Amino acid sequence: MERREFIKKTGTVAAIAATSAGLFLGCEKKTGDSAENKKIESGPAVITTPKTAIKWRLQTYAGSALAEHVIKPSIDAFNKAANGEMIIELYNADQLVPQGELFRAVSEGTIDAAQSDDDSMAAPVDVAIFAAYFPFATRYSLDVPALWHWLGLNKIWEEAYAEVKGVTWLSTGAWDPCNFSTSKPIKSLADLKGLRVYTFPTGGKFLQQFGVIPMSLPYSDVQMAIQTGELDGVCWSGITEVYTVGWADVCKYYLTNPISGAWAGSYFANTDKWAALPEHLKTLFRLCMDSSHYYRQHWYWYGEANYRTKGGKMQLTTIPKEEWKVVEDAAYKLWDEVAAKSPRNAQVVAILKEYNKTMEAAGPPYRY
């Protein structure tokens, strides 16, 4: 094309564009002399389309006081870092659905994601029994990430959840140990008989052989149930949670013998909702899960020692080591029973046995 012809055609296009812009501004002027219209008159019209944020609803197993530590900081950080592209609304225990229906709610898309143990949310996978407090599976909170990241439990969990519809397992981390907090002192195994305690499904079934009566009720009703005598206490957490959620105000005694060294809890998402997220938001959510796992490591580690020594509300009791060994031996018998239920369960139990054998051989500070 010759230069003269190009200039001629370019000028024609520019004229049409200018005329169109004038017509557009002229229409705007006719609507009135508002400040907004004067602003339009003074410069070019810029049309922007607001972003539509992705919205998720996530329910945690924890009540409001506990959620302030175990999940809220990480969700607040996610919402800030997502910069308007995605918003996660956080709900506490039983707020949208009862805890026992949490898995089904995520599967059906009623809730987009959950933070919970597999056991109490009724996950229909064989490995669910190892979540929460599988008796004596761990001694310290660092055992949980070591088992999942370095001993292969993460791959086993991925495999198990790939077999169920609607829910994707995302990440597992550690919480606190599991001890008895009660209104009555426990100084021997005989003192466990007849105790009505709020606890987890697997832990409750295990403790029944020692006379414990596991009780199931909404999380928010636990403190009042202890006050009224409906419950004798809890076997749900370590001492940090007992003080944080108010149970230390109604429980007078804390048994230092744990039935497990750390709670194993996970994050789950509705499979379709997770698949629909762009990769950068998936990465951001994974980083925030890791942030939550890290926070709990130091919060619980500090709290367990702090409240035992400086709490001031509860008296510590201990069952002699020789007597408590009966409970430990019963746990290892349970391991073998669980291993016989499926090849995958047998694989998990084999990993637990090998891991604990390694820790004992390593000696202090891994095992004393």
* Least trusted range by pLDDT, from 45-49, 208-212, 217-221, 263-267: 45-49
Pairing of strands 196-199, 233-237: parallel
CA–CA gap between residue 163 and residue 184 (Å, rounded): 44
Q: Where residue 244 falls among pLDDT bands split at 50, 70, 90?
A: very high
pLDDT at residue 283 greater than cutoff 80: yes
**pLDDT reported for residue 24:** 36
What is the arithmetic mean of pLDDT over 348-359?
98
* Least trusted range by pLDDT, from 23-27, 130-134, 140-144: 23-27
**pLDDT reported for residue 312:** 97
- Retrieve residue 367's tokens: 């095992």
What is the arithmetic mean of pLDDT over 133-159?
98
Helix (H) or strand (E) holding 171: strand 167-174
What is the arithmetic mean of pLDDT over 39-54?
52
Give just the sign of the alpha carbon dihedral 158, 163, 167, 173: negative
The percent of residues in the chain predicted with pLDDT above 90, rounded, is 85
pLDDT at residue 37 greater than cutoff 50: no
**End-to-end alpha carbon distance in the chain:** 88
Task: Report the helix count and the strand count for the chain, using DSSP H and E.
Answer: 14, 11
Higher pLDDT, 246 or 19: 246
Contact (CB, 8 A) for 140 and 262: yes
**pLDDT reported for residue 52:** 76
Q: Where residue 347 falls among pLDDT bands split at 50, 70, 90?
A: very high
What is the arithmetic mean of pLDDT over 144-157?
98
Mean pLDDT, the chain, integer: 90
* Least trusted range by pLDDT, from 38-42, 60-64, 177-181: 38-42
Report the 10 Å Cβ neighbour count for 46.
6
Which amino acid, one-letter code, is at 14?
A
Query: What's the pTM value of the predicted model, to 2 decimals?
Result: 0.84
CA–CA gap between residue 214 and residue 197 (Å, rounded): 5
**pLDDT reported for residue 314:** 98
**pLDDT reported for residue 186:** 98
**pLDDT reported for residue 29:** 35
pLDDT digits (tens, 9 = 90+) for 108-118: 999 999 999 99
pLDDT at residue 356 greater than cutoff 60: yes
**pLDDT reported for residue 249:** 97
Which amino acid, one-letter code, is at 305?
A
**pLDDT reported for residue 17:** 42
Q: Where residue 51 falls among pLDDT bands split at 50, 70, 90?
A: low
**pLDDT reported for residue 10:** 42
pLDDT at residue 304 greater than cutoff 60: yes
pLDDT at residue 326 greater than cutoff 50: yes
Beta bridge partners of 214: 197
**pLDDT reported for residue 90:** 98
Q: Where residue 48 falls among pLDDT bands split at 50, 70, 90?
A: very low
What the chain holds in terms of domains, given with CATH numbers, is 55-178+259-362 (3.40.190.170)
pLDDT at residue 348 greater than cutoff 50: yes
pLDDT digits (tens, 9 = 90+) for 64-96: 999 999 999 999 999 999 999 999 999 999 999
Q: Where residue 137 falls among pLDDT bands split at 50, 70, 90?
A: very high
Closest by Cα among 233, 131, 238 to 177: 238
